[in-house]
Homo-oligomer: A and B are copies of this chain.
Amino acid sequence: VAGNTNDRLQALKDILAEVTDLSRAAALLEWDQETYMPPGGVQSRSEQISTILRLSHVRFTSDEVGRLLDQLEDDVAKLPFDSDEASLVRVTRRDYDEATKLPPDLISEIARAGSMAQPVWQKARREANFSLFAPYLEKNVELNRRIADAIGYDERPYDALINRSEPGMTTAQLEEIFAELKRVIVPLAADIARHADVVDDRVLYRGFDPDLQLAYALGLVKRLGYDLERGRQDISTHPFSTAFGPGDVRITTRVSREFFNECLFGSIHESGHAMYNQGMGQNIDRTPLWGGASPGVHESQSRFWENLVGRSLPFWRHFYPSLTATFPEPLRGVDEEAFYRAVNRSYPSLIRVEADEVTYNMHVLLRFELENEMLEGTLKVKDLPEAWNTRFKSYLGLNVPNDREGVLQDIHWSYVSFGIFPGYTIGNLISAQLMEKIRTEIPDLEGQIEKGQFATLLGWLRKNVHRHGRKFTPNELLERATGRPLTAGPWIAYVQQKFGALYGLQAVKR
């Protein structure tokens, strides 16, 4: 590649801008598929998405990108680690290696295995019959091993897989964190279960007008700082957030008359994701640096607003008066503290996606352990349901009545995707670790939240997290923002304190 550093950087950026445009277009095609597309559009839409993603992949994995990266790594060697240029080359190299390390045959085989396994998983789940699905899961385990081998790893095969979504994380780091969580959560959840009658959440099921819920939720997330000039809210079966550029970051939600939490906390959650994307720097737009640092970091932003802000007492001290004005009937006779308690009710349950703040991470821990053991061959696929049920009983105290509500509940294992689950817990931990730091830097945080003022808080997140996009790995980002890599301590302290108080638990009150 001829020319000077700037020419080469520009050549790389031109390709990356094209790749970004294509993937953003694909994201809009997917958004439309989930929101407005008529039923007849399925076939053409899948053709369009597959063509666009293929072109994007071909362009990104071209030899030209490889050659530019080889030269640019020398060019930027003396630039600061966090400069836009050095970061662009470093992160693009990481993506390029990941995209080119898997041989095309393996990529096709993975796609094929996924599309064959998914309908079988659906049937097996419907019939609560794990044995139907077992041969497909065996194939998926084998393919996950081959992915790990193709990518390479020093210690544990899971290292290769976790690194694909949470760069820089190791199996050992996660094992240590999960062990610490287990020591605390298992007894805490059991303690809460013994005091279950302290919290009454029946108010949430009294019936709330759906249109009013949608309007209230949208008004509320706007107050948090979700910019509707650069976003919008639509309805979809499964809520999500998606971004087509700095000026167009959307959320979807769903609404149930019968259960209040779905729409409001769902909207806060998705707007947490969306505010992350809305805060990414214009300087990194149309490059691989524009995006979430990892699924875990993305989840930290949604959980931060949903749980640490949206399920806090000062938050409801501010919003409850307008909520009761909107829904006078169902909220009659319930004060803000009772409502705060209701939205924080904790109890062991079978289904991960319905789990509360305290027990959620145990669902993830279970899957992390089982994925690792299957990958390393210490657990046979045929023994998976028994392992699931035994550990579920030991961690959450519940008997799993059938595989539909047990080992078959998540779609994830029907495609080749080990290493995804830990991101959910990483997100929870990061949110608490950031909050611990924020409390030292914004001492008046609770007072501000109680006044409905979120600008200082959002400003801190923008400065320390959002604007960097993918420049830093999760651990690097946390080091810079809080002085430490990922650690479970702040989250443990948070749930002990919050739920200890909520349920009046003596043991953990210190």
Q: DSSP class of A's interface residues: helix, strand, loop or mixed?
A: helix
A230 to B227, CA, bound (A): 33
Is A40 at the interface (CB under 8 A from chain B)? Answer: yes
A28 to B33, CA, bound (A): 11
Other A-B contacts than A36-B234, A41-B247, 13 sampled, CB-CB below 8 A, are: A18-B55, A21-B52, A22-B48, A25-B29, A28-B32, A38-B229, A38-B230, A38-B247, A38-B248, A40-B229, A43-B247, A47-B245, A48-B244
Is A411 at the interface (CB under 8 A from chain B)? Answer: no
Which chain B residue lies CB-closest to A232?
B38
Which chain B residue lies CB-closest to A37?
B248
A18 to B285, CA, bound (A): 27
A42 to B40, CA, bound (A): 29
A: which residues have CB within 8 A of B?
17-18, 21-22, 24-25, 28-29, 32, 36-45, 47-48, 51-52, 55, 227-232, 234, 244-248, 250, 285-286
Which chain B residue lies CB-closest to A246?
B44
Given contacts A37-B248, A245-B44, contact A51 B230 (CB under 8 A): no
Q: List 28 A-B contacts (CB under 8 A).
A: A22-B51, A22-B52, A28-B28, A28-B29, A28-B48, A36-B232, A38-B229, A38-B231, A38-B232, A38-B247, A38-B250, A39-B247, A40-B229, A40-B231, A40-B246, A40-B248, A41-B244, A42-B247, A43-B245, A43-B247, A44-B248, A44-B285, A47-B245, A47-B286, A48-B244, A48-B245, A52-B52, A55-B55
**Min distance, Cβ A388 to any Cβ of chain B, angstroms:** 40
Residues of B within 8 A of A52 (CB): 21-22, 25, 52
Identical copies in the complex = 2
Given contacts A21-B47, A51-B22, contact A41 B286 (CB under 8 A): no
A29 to B244, CA, bound (A): 11
Residues of B within 8 A of A248 (CB): 37-38, 40-41, 44-45
A42 to B229, CA, bound (A): 11
Given contacts A25-B29, A39-B229, A41-B230, contact A18 B244 (CB under 8 A): no
A51 to B232, CA, bound (A): 24
Residues of B within 8 A of A232 (CB): 36, 38
- Which of A43, A44, A229, A244 has most B Cβ within 10 Å? A44
Are A247 and B22 within 8 A (Cβ)? no
Are B36 and A48 within 8 A (Cβ)? no
Residues of B within 8 A of A42 (CB): 247
Are B24 and A44 within 8 A (Cβ)? yes
A285 to B43, CA, bound (A): 11
A283 to B237, CA, bound (A): 33
